[in-house]
Amino acid sequence: MTAKKKVGITETIFRDAHQSLLATRMSTDDMLPIAEKVDKAGYHSVEMWGGATFDSAMRYLNEDPWERLKKLKEKMPNTPFQMLLRGQNIVGYKHYPDDSVREFVRLAIKNGIDIFRIFDALNDVRNMQVAIEATNEYGGHAQATVVYTTSPVHDIEHYIETAKELKKVGADSICLKDMAGLLKPYEATELIGSLKEAVDIPIQLHTHYTSGLASMTYLKAVEAGVDVIDTALSTLALGTSQPATETMVATFAGTDYDTGIDMEYVSELNRYFKDIRDKLKENMAPKDVDPEVLIYQVPGGMLSNMRSQMKKMNMLDRLEETLLEVPKVREDLGYPPLVTPMSQIVGTQAVFNVATGERYKVVSKEVKKYLQGGYGKAPGKIDDDFRAKIIGKDAEVITHRPADDLEPIMEKATKEVKEKGYYTKEEDVLSYIIFPAVAEEFFKNRG
């Protein structure tokens, strides 16, 4: 922090903004023409990789995500590149062996990632530790994440203790990740102030505009001492995306928190992305504000997935009933935060409960795995009778870190990729490990 308490801006236009509003359909060719200008804007960092972009690049765009990273880094050598890493899940939806987590981090740094925002859906520090240690080892910046939600067990003490544990295992900074836009302005004042006192490392705040609170929350967070905030250029801001970059730049201009970013310059960048948005408009999600998220606590991405699922089941007229079921399922499961993959797991179970007319008549294999400890430690207590009813009274429940049960995979996967004739570079092995079927299809059609 400087004497003037300048606030940094992380621009999300290349990752979370189009993941939230354009179904992650922005291609590398859409990004490259403006990349050099984005590099000169003066951002703290640009988030441009990870999350769903890795999967979507291969699955929908026939692109190699590793090539996107390299090409953009060539055009943007001056701005730190940031990615969203799902801890032991890497960029997938299950736990992967430790050797693959370490190798992914090594290769991501080699290709251009500087800052790793590492999170776990349950705030289970054990599921983030290997990724944090690898980031430290290979010279990256480990930004460990505290996922924000509201529940009887998610209080300031929980967030502070999680942040302290993360610092202890090697975090260089802490991100408070509010994926559903639930953090209210005055709560931000208290929480950010408490975190700043508890851990003597930078604090970054990430939120979404879903509930309409986000810009006000940023204002109070900055006043409370937050170091960096996430924004998106206005064309792909608001709705389930972030507050607008231009709005936040203007808000702090001329104050002690001045971002140092030129308003006219980012407005020029935004005009470029208007054309990209128009080109991809068939994928565009509504930019509405939905304060009901404060009641249901359902993030925007989870809501769109539920709508799609229920439409296929011809159940769209029962959406509200299902939304009311979500908090009940969440309570049964010990109040997991609704972020990938827990948002999908809880949402799908809520749909099953409503569709069958009997709660837990049909139970997904993911819920069973979760109740057996397969995703990590639940934030709250789970009723023993409920657990026994779902998984059986004699089923084993693990209390150790789930990845401890996974055998190393790199050597075996490398051999498989080479035998199948797909190997062109070491990064191909990681793509294959994380998304075997998608990567194999991509490799067949590559070039």
Per-residue pLDDT 10s for the chain (447 aa) are: 334 589 999 999 999 999 999 999 999 999 999 999 999 999 999 999 999 999 999 999 999 999 999 999 999 999 999 999 999 999 999 999 999 999 999 999 999 999 999 999 999 999 999 999 999 999 999 999 999 999 999 999 999 999 999 999 999 999 999 999 999 999 999 999 999 999 999 999 999 999 999 999 999 999 999 999 999 999 999 999 999 999 999 999 999 999 999 999 999 999 999 999 999 999 898 888 988 888 878 776 677 677 777 888 899 999 989 999 999 999 999 999 998 889 999 999 999 999 999 999 999 999 999 999 999 999 999 999 999 999 999 999 999 999 999 999 999 999 999 999 999 999 999 999 999 999 999 999 986
Report how far residue 427's alpha carbon sits from residue 65's, in angstroms, rounded to the nearest whole number: 10
Report how far residue 395's alpha carbon sits from residue 405's, in angstroms, rounded to the nearest whole number: 16
Same domain membership, residue 382 and residue 348: yes
Which of 246, 281, 316 is where one domain is finished?
281
Q: What pTM was estimated for this model as a whole?
A: 0.95
Q: For residue 369, is it within any domain?
A: yes
| Total structural domains within the chain | 3
Report how far residue 235's alpha carbon sits from residue 430's, in angstroms, rounded to the nearest whole number: 33
Report how far residue 135's alpha carbon sits from residue 385's, in angstroms, rounded to the nearest whole number: 41
Q: For residue 1, is it within any domain?
A: no
Report how far residue 263's alpha carbon sits from residue 332's, in angstroms, rounded to the nearest whole number: 48
Report how far residue 336's alpha carbon sits from residue 377's, in angstroms, rounded to the nearest whole number: 9
Q: For residue 290, is it within any domain?
A: no
Report how far residue 375's alpha carbon sits from residue 158's, in angstroms, rounded to the nearest whole number: 19
pLDDT value of position 3? 45
Which of 281, 310, 339 is where one domain is finished?
281
DSSP string, 97-135: -HHHHHHHHHHHHHHT--EEEE--TT--THHHHHHHHHH
Report how far residue 242's alpha carbon sits from residue 209's, in angstroms, rounded to the nearest whole number: 5
Helix (H, G, I), strand (E, B) or coil at 142: strand
- Find the CATH number of the domain harbouring 212: 3.20.20.70
Q: For residue 394, is it within any domain?
A: no
Report how far residue 232's alpha carbon sits from residue 253's, in angstroms, rounded to the nearest whole number: 17
How many other β-carbons are positioned within 10 Å of the β-carbon of residue 118? Answer: 30
Report how far residue 422's alpha carbon sits from residue 440's, in angstroms, rounded to the nearest whole number: 8
Contact between 54 and 65 (Cβ < 8 Å):
yes
Same domain membership, residue 107 and residue 255: yes
Same domain membership, residue 425 and residue 319: no
Looking up tokens 């505290």, which residue turns up?
Answer: 146
Neighbouring-strand partners of residue 11 = 46, 231
Query: % helix / strand / coil in the chain, to the nearest 5?
Result: 50, 10, 40
Q: For residue 287, is it within any domain?
A: no
- Find the CATH number of the domain harbouring 334: 1.10.472.90
Contact between 231 and 20 (Cβ < 8 Å):
no
pLDDT value of position 1? 37
Polymer length in residues for the chain:
447
Domain range for 44:
6-281
Q: What is the DSSP letter of 392?
A: -
Report how far residue 180's alpha carbon sits from residue 241's, in angstroms, rounded to the nearest whole number: 10
In terms of C-beta density within 10 A (0-12 exposed, 13-18 middle, 19 or more buried), how is residue 396 classed? exposed
CA distances to 61, 73, 107, 362, 375 from 427, rounded to whole Å, are 18, 16, 7, 39, 26
Report how far residue 349's alpha carbon sits from residue 363's, in angstroms, rounded to the nearest whole number: 7
CA distances to 130, 143, 257 from 119, rounded to whole Å, are 12, 9, 28
CA distances to 3, 244, 295 from 258, rounded to whole Å, are 12, 16, 34
Looking up tokens 């730049």, which residue turns up?
Answer: 249
Report how far residue 350's alpha carbon sits from residue 368's, in angstroms, rounded to the nearest whole number: 14
Same domain membership, residue 315 and residue 371: yes
For 218, the token pair is: 């940023």
Report how far residue 1's alpha carbon sits from residue 7's, in angstroms, rounded to the nearest whole number: 8
Neighbouring-strand partners of residue 118 = 85, 144
Q: For residue 292, is it within any domain?
A: no
Which of 281, 309, 337 is where one domain is finished?
281
pLDDT value of position 310? 84
Sign of CA dihedral 76, 102, 12, 276: positive
Looking up tokens 């967070």, which residue turns up?
Answer: 221
For 179, the token pair is: 């994926």
CA dihedral 340→345→350→351, nearest 10 degrees, is: 100
Same domain membership, residue 370 and residue 266: no
Looking up tokens 């995979």, which residue turns up?
Answer: 409
Same domain membership, residue 43 and residue 121: yes
